[in-house]
Amino acid sequence: MATRAPNQYDAQREKLAAYFDGTARKAWIDLTSDAKVSGIRATVRAGRDEMRSTLLDWLPADMRRGQLLDAGCGTGALSMEAACRGAEVTAIDIAAGLVEIARQRADTFHGHGRIRWKTGDMLDPALGEFDHIVAMDSLIHYQAEDIVDTLTALSERARHSILFTFAPYTKMLGTMHKVGKLFPRSDRSPAIVPVAEGELRDRLSALKGWRLGRSQRVSSGFYTSQALELVKG
């Protein structure tokens, strides 16, 4: 039986679904396309592109007969690139509107693999088991303990590796997080929660049967994210 993440995960998940299916939908579509965007958003786009390339570099070059869970797939760019390597991809996101955009964009996809698009909870055990699980920027809105609980649940369905990102604590991100709490706005996106890398590593060291692998930070203007690899064995 898969370990269930705590109630904070469920509450935040619903906030994320409402945000990305509501006020952020158009902005997210533009950000993940070739549409012209502001200078700030251009740095975020560049950062996300670099992070996606990093995570894809950590996956096998030949993924034929391999199964991948794209946990928090958004508009599907990573899923389509993995499928081009032959992967059997299950791409899931809580935001139905983003998954629909991914489906539309996949109409022009001609990879060797296959993609199964899903809307729902990435922790749903009915999704099955996978060789690799990727969670790119889908855990950046959670506290360290919730990230670890979520990864613990995912680890029960991963055979080889879990690649994920978190928002690394920096003075700037810490200040922005505090200001966001002091001056909330109803239309603000769910807060990105900065997490100290040392704390996260300490917590993950207790995850039986798994070890920490590669690590890479990407900073591009207003985008800062840290990738970590968990390896089975």
Q: What is the pLDDT along the chain (233 residues), one digit of tens a residue?
A: 344 445 577 777 777 777 777 767 777 777 888 888 888 889 999 999 999 999 999 999 999 999 999 999 999 999 999 999 999 999 999 999 999 999 999 987 777 899 999 999 999 999 999 999 999 999 999 999 999 999 999 999 999 999 999 999 876 665 654 544 433 444 455 678 999 999 999 999 999 999 999 999 999 988 999 999 999 99
Residues in contact with 159: Cβ distance below 8 Å, sequence separation at least 6, in sequence order: 129, 130, 131, 132, 232
With contact defined as beta carbons under 8 Å apart, do 94 and 120 qualify?
A: yes
Q: For the whole model, what pTM was predicted?
A: 0.86
* C-alpha distance across the termini of the chain, in Å: 20
Domains of the chain: 7-232 (3.40.50.150)
Distance CA 17, CA 152 (A): 22
φ, ψ for residue 206, nearest 5 deg:
-90, 0
DSSP 8-class letter at 221: T
Distance CA 199, CA 143 (A): 11
Kindly report the number of other CB atoms within 10 A of residue 99's CB atom.
22
Please identify which residue in the block is written with the tokens 């619903």.
14
